[in-house]
Amino acid sequence: MIQALARAMAKRPLWHIDAVGAGLIGLAAGVWYFAGVEPLQQAQAGLRAMEVELASQRDVAHTKAKLASTQDRELARLRAEIEASAIQLRREDALNAHVSKLTAVAEGFGLRVNEIKPSAATRLPRFTVVPIRLSGVGGYGAVVEFLRRLRADFGDTGLTGLTLERSPAVGDAEPDAEVDLKFVVNLAWYAAPVSGTGKK
């Protein structure tokens, strides 16, 4: 039987065998490509896309880390600056000493203080506010110098209002003469909260 098959095969043209072999090789190559190579290429393309995305995310993270570091340094600098310039608030029972000091400074500039009157305190969680009304008579230049000194030396005291009024009795004064004015200076003194000392 084998000999009969061999004779039958010998009578057939060889191109049929070549065509069948080529078809089988093509089929095997197609299966190999679609089952192995194409998924591998797709996986590699996906991997490259993920690597690009990862590099981009690393750049973003690096930029954000640098920004956070810069902001942390700036925050530390600002906190140190605030701490260094913070005003130590005194207790509310130092009000009389504060009023005496204000009066002495005003009189030091030649102002005549007629009244200095604290009002009821407003107590807040971080500080207490005591309104103070200071009124009297003095020259414009003296009032200005008093306010400058107030700003420079009384960091715990804020100006909330100022009224200057020319006295009717000085209506005929020389234009260049320093005339006395009635003044009312409204201040807010910031004291430590009732619970203890504080910083403004």
According to the model, what pLDDT value does residue 137 have? 94
3-state secondary structure the chain: CHHHHHHHHHHCCHHHHHHHHHHHHHHHHHHHHHHHHHHHHHHHHHHHHHHHHHHHHHHHHHHHHHHHHHHHHHHHHHHHHHHHHCCEECCHHHHHHHHHHHHHHHHHCCCEEEEEEECCCEECCCCEEEEEEEEEEEEHHHHHHHHHHHHHHCCCEEEEEEEEEECHHHCCCCCCCCCEEEEEEEEEEEECCCCCCEEC
Q: What is the CATH number of the domain that holds 173?
A: 3.30.70.60
Least confident interval from 79-88, 105-114, 121-130? 79-88
Please tell me the distance from the alpha carbon of residue 112 to that of residue 137, in angstroms, as a whole number.
5
Question: Which of 85, 118, 152 is at the close of a domain?
Answer: 85
Tokens found for residue 196: 């203890």
How many domains does the chain contain in total? 2
Please tell me the distance from the alpha carbon of residue 7 to that of residue 19, in angstroms, as a whole number.
20
According to the model, what pLDDT value does residue 173 have? 56
Question: Which of 67, 85, 103 is at the close of a domain?
Answer: 85
Q: Identify whether residues 111 and 191 lie together within a single domain.
A: yes
Range of the domain at 150: 89-199
Q: Identify whether residues 52 and 93 lie together within a single domain.
A: no
Q: Identify whether residues 19 and 111 lie together within a single domain.
A: no
Q: Identify whether residues 140 and 95 lie together within a single domain.
A: yes
93-112 per-position pLDDT tens digit: 899 999 999 999 999 999 99
141-153 per-position pLDDT tens digit: 999 999 999 998 8
Q: Identify whether residues 103 and 173 lie together within a single domain.
A: yes
| Widest CA span in the chain | 151
| Mean per-residue pLDDT of the chain | 82
194 phi and psi, to 5 degrees? -60, -30
Give the residue with greater pLDDT, 18 vs 192: 192
Question: Which of 36, 65, 85 is at the close of a domain?
Answer: 85
Residue 197 pLDDT class (50, 70, 90 cuts): very low
Mean pLDDT of 169-196: 76
Residue 196 pLDDT class (50, 70, 90 cuts): very low
Q: Identify whether residues 98 and 125 lie together within a single domain.
A: yes
According to the model, what pLDDT value does residue 129 have? 94
Q: Identify whether residues 81 and 112 lie together within a single domain.
A: no
Residue 158 pLDDT class (50, 70, 90 cuts): very high
